[in-house]
């Protein structure tokens, strides 16, 4: 890694990719990059529904890691885009296992941010024997309090953004924005659900950075991102991620023996630091790194640097000391 590319490794192409049909509804995009004989690492994207990007390969030394990315059900290049039916956390966990078996991988390092941290924990607690460790960023446990914060609490920091989000539905429905949006997001009429998805996605994209980044917000409004993000985030929030309340904390004993690092932006408005702190209290063996000058996005310099440092520490010693 050279100074001009720090904190990320240089851009690289996938070695191979494909589509995996996991049921009658969903077909998943997957790819590998880096060292085909290297240490396997699984990248889990956020959202749910946000999908992967080529930059996600760059958190890992390609000479050392066999880097596996995939787009979860309804996200990115997976088909159908934005499909929320037959889309649950247990099914996503099952999909991960299908990909692992298909690729002939025994164990891998699991890396996930935001919703990716939720799924990483759910997968690890279901299959601890398949995990070498965890790199987790912007912790989201999908509790009722976190969902309520996302839908209504962010207005305390971004009041004008939240007002625009609320104004997109009739006034008589604004007392329950999640229900109001899901009614539109789950419509079968693309004209209805795409508009709602764009409003939802713009709301999140406007709040994820410590300093506003207009180009990134514009990306969130694109059909390629907003359809998956808007429909699936609402779907999972409405259904408590198909887990019992606080399940990920209650079941943490299943993975406490594994090495882990938690990277959290101090000024993360989307996934406030209290969730990372709660996770660390339940899992004191994990390293908690609070980034003093960052919000939510994994692309913010302080967070990206901490994530790369974590993958490098694991490469060198299998730990995060």
Tens digits of residue pLDDT in 285-308: 999 999 999 999 999 999 999 999
Is position 45 annotated as part of the catalytic site? no
Nearest to 181 by CA among 84, 270, 269: 84
| pLDDT band with cut points at 50, 70 and 90 for residue 1 | very low
Q: Return the percentage of the chain with pLDDT > 90, whole number.
A: 93
**Residue 278 phi, psi dihedral angles, 5° rounding:** -60, -45
| pLDDT band with cut points at 50, 70 and 90 for residue 63 | very high
- Given 114, 117, 201, 297, the catalytic residue: 114
For the chain, the average pLDDT equals 95
pLDDT one-digit tens code per residue, 113-152: 999 999 999 999 999 999 999 999 999 999 999 999 999 9
CA angle 133, 136, 139 (to 5 degrees): 140
Residue whose token pair is 């004989």: 37
Query: For residue 201, what is the DSSP state?
Result: H
CA dihedral 171, 174, 175, 179 (to 10 degrees): 130
Name the residue with higher pLDDT: 1 or 96.
Answer: 96
| pLDDT band with cut points at 50, 70 and 90 for residue 3 | very low
Is position 287 annotated as part of the catalytic site? no
pLDDT at 191: 95
Query: For residue 187, what is the DSSP state?
Result: -
Q: What's the predicted TM-score (pTM) here?
A: 0.96
Residue 321 has pLDDT above 80, yes or no: no
- Given 95, 268, 275, 297, the catalytic residue: 268
- Given 45, 162, 235, 296, the catalytic residue: 296
Is position 268 annotated as part of the catalytic site? yes
pLDDT one-digit tens code per residue, 211-223: 888 887 888 999 9
Contact 6, 39 (CB under 8 A): no
pLDDT one-digit tens code per residue, 155-172: 999 999 999 999 999 999
Residue 78 has pLDDT above 60, yes or no: yes
What three-state secondary structure class fits 107? coil
Domain locations along the chain: 3-143+244-317, 144-241
Q: For the domain 3-143+244-317, what is the CATH code?
A: 3.40.50.1820
Region of residue 95 (phi > 0: left; psi between -120 and 50: alpha; otherwise: beta)? alpha
What three-state secondary structure class fits 239? coil
Which tokens sit at 320? 């995060």
The string of DSSP codes covering 170-185 is -GGGGGGHHHHHHHHH
**Pairing status of strand 65-70 against strand 27-34:** antiparallel
Secondary structure element (H or E) that encloses residue 269, with its range:
none
């Amino acid at each position: 890694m050279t100074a001009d590319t720090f904190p990320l490794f240089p851009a690289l192409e996938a070695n191979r990719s494909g589509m995996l049909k996991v049921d009658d509804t969903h077909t998943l995009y997957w790819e590998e990059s880096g060292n085909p004989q290297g240490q396997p690492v699984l990248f889990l994207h956020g959202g749910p529904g946000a999908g992967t990007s080529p930059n996600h390969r760059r958190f890992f030394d390609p000479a050392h890691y066999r880097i596996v990315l995939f787009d979860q059900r309804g996200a990115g290049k997976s088909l159908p885009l934005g499909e929320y039916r037959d889309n649950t956390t247990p099914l996503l966990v099952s999909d991960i296992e299908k990909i692992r078996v298909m690729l002939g991988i025994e164990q891998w390092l699991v890396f996930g941010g935001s919703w990716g941290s939720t799924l990483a924990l759910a997968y690890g607690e279901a299959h601890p024997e398949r995990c070498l460790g965890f790199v987790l960023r912007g912790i989201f446990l999908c509790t009722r309090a976190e969902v309520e914060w996302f839908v209504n609490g962010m207005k305390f920091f971004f009041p004008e953004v939240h007002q625009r989000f609320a104004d997109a539905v009739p006034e008589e429905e604004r007392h329950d924005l999640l229900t109001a949006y899901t009614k539109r997001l789950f419509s079968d009429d693309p004209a209805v659900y795409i508009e709602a998805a764009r409003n939802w996605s713009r709301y999140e994209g406007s709040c994820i950075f410590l300093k506003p980044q207009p180009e990134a917000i514009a990306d969130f409004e694109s059909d390629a991102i907003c359809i998956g993000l808007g429909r699936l985030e609402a779907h999972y929030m409405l259904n408590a991620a198909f887990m019992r309340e606080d399940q990920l904390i209650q079941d943490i004993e299943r993975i406490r023996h594994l090495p882990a690092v938690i990277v959290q932006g101090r000024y993360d408005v989307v996934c406030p630091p209290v969730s990372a702190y709660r996770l660390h209290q339940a899992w004191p063996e994990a390293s908690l790194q609070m980034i003093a000058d960052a919000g939510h996005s994994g692309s913010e310099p302080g967070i990206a640097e901490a994530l790369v440092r974590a993958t490098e520490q694991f490469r060198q010693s299998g730990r995060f000391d």
